[in-house]
Structure 1
Amino acid sequence: MMTPSNGPRTTERYHPRVEARLQVKVLLSGRTVHAQARDISMNGLFLQAHPADTQRALTIALPLPGDRELVTMCAIRRREVDGVALEFGELDWDDLIALARFLHPHLP
């Protein structure tokens, strides 16, 4: 079941999102599915995909510059017609720094 949304609540965001058109690997019980991220922040991303309604979390692999891949468990926070909003699980310092370096040039 999709939960309707009137779009992102930007006034409530602590971490700004930037447009990202990235190919993300979604790791599902022994197989990998590719999907596109519409935007990304230090806290999560919007994935243009439709996981099963029973699914509450996903493991993703996000490509970053320098042949680095950020792999993390994400909670599904919101479902929309065109995809799902994901919140990153715990990231270690190296992943946080790599993500910040990726995002910084794209921030307003």
Structure 2
Amino acid sequence: MKDVNDKVFRALADSSRRRLLDRLYANNGQTLSQLCEDLDMTRQAVTQHLGVLEAANLIATQWRGREKLHYLNPVPLQEIYERWIRKFERPQLSALHKLKHRLEDDNDD
């Protein structure tokens, strides 16, 4: 599992790859040509970034005739959230909740 998480974090470390994920989130199932539109990256660079994202299982591809469609796979992101983010967020939310109630109680006095 560690190796998989390392690949996901490595893939997410690059802003160009995050931009590609954002584009797939907004409009899933795009071709390489569609993903290249309005980006200042060469087609070759986009292809390389998509390869890293696919190796990290952040995207999946499917052939439709002669077109290769790219789809966002949110499962690894959810796993990262569950493993690394959620456990750190609970204590902070609890502390904010207690602080809110303390401040509200002070205002009632």
Could you tell me the TM-score, scaled by structure 1's length?
0.24
Could you tell me the TM-score, scaled by structure 2's length?
0.24
Structure with more of its chain in strand, by fraction: 1
Structure with more of its chain in helix, by fraction: 2
